A and B are shown apart, each in its own frame.
Chain A
């Protein structure tokens, strides 16, 4: 089955700087890669996703890149703000199965 590894487990960046979170997946059949943000006491919230027919996707300050050959995908957050502090999860799925496998999460802290 699919296995998703996520690094780093914790990340602290200065406000205004960029943050990068990296993930790898094992199943080459996976073709859907969502990223979720989870704040304390809340459920995960989808912030951006990318499908395997696209190499990069951007939405304001966040962007995702996908390297299908290497089975790597990354989340980039630019101009970080205090409200970006949260736990971020990457995930992978084979769309027709609708089963999402999550990484172990990255706790992002933004230093003022």
Chain B
């Protein structure tokens, strides 16, 4: 069984530029999560989707961050414009309905210069 796929794995951009991350969850997993992981810290939830509906986006900085999960499968997380403080690893995870266990992708390491 394929795991959670994320791309790109690494991204370097200048501040004020836009950037987008893509995630393909494990087949059949209806719940998808985007996390932010700063260096030396644990992941922090940005947004959670149940199918195509965002059911928890309370921690998503909506002035510059947006996300979508069209058709309830793949998801894209966008930052526009990026700031220096956005440099971090962005992790995507998925879980199946009614299950707590979350499976993480390898993450996208973003560096904003």
- Which residues of A pack against B, CB within 8 Å? 4, 6, 32, 34, 36, 41-46, 49, 89, 91, 93, 95, 98-100, 102-105
Contacts and interface: CB of A to CB of B under 8 A. Distances in A.
A67 to B, nearest CB: 20
Nearest to B4: A43
B91 interface: yes
B42 interface: yes
Interface stretch (B14-22, B61-69, B78-86, B96-104): B96-104
Contact of A105 (B31, B40, B44, B102): B40
B101 to A, nearest CB: 6
Interface in B18-75: 31, 40-45, 48, 56
A99 B42 contact: no
A93 B56 contact: no
Interface residues of B, number: 21
Contact of A99 (B4, B48, B107): B48
B101 A43 contact: no
A88 B93 CA distance: 17
B87 interface: no
B91 A43 contact: yes
Interface secondary structure of A, over-half rule: strand
Contact of A49 (B45, B101, B104): B101
Contacts of A42: 106-107
B104 A98 contact: no
Given A41-B106, A42-B106, A43-B107, A102 B43 contact: yes
A98 B43 CA distance: 14
A98 B41 contact: no
Query: Closest 6 A-B residue pairs measured CB to CB?
Result: A102-B42, A43-B104, A32-B100, A44-B104, A89-B42, A43-B106
A98 B48 contact: yes
Contacts of B100: 32, 34, 49, 93, 95, 98, 100
Given A99-B45, A102-B43, 16 more contacts: A6-B42, A32-B100, A43-B4, A43-B104, A43-B106, A44-B43, A44-B91, A44-B104, A45-B104, A46-B101, A98-B95, A99-B56, A100-B45, A100-B100, A102-B42, A105-B42
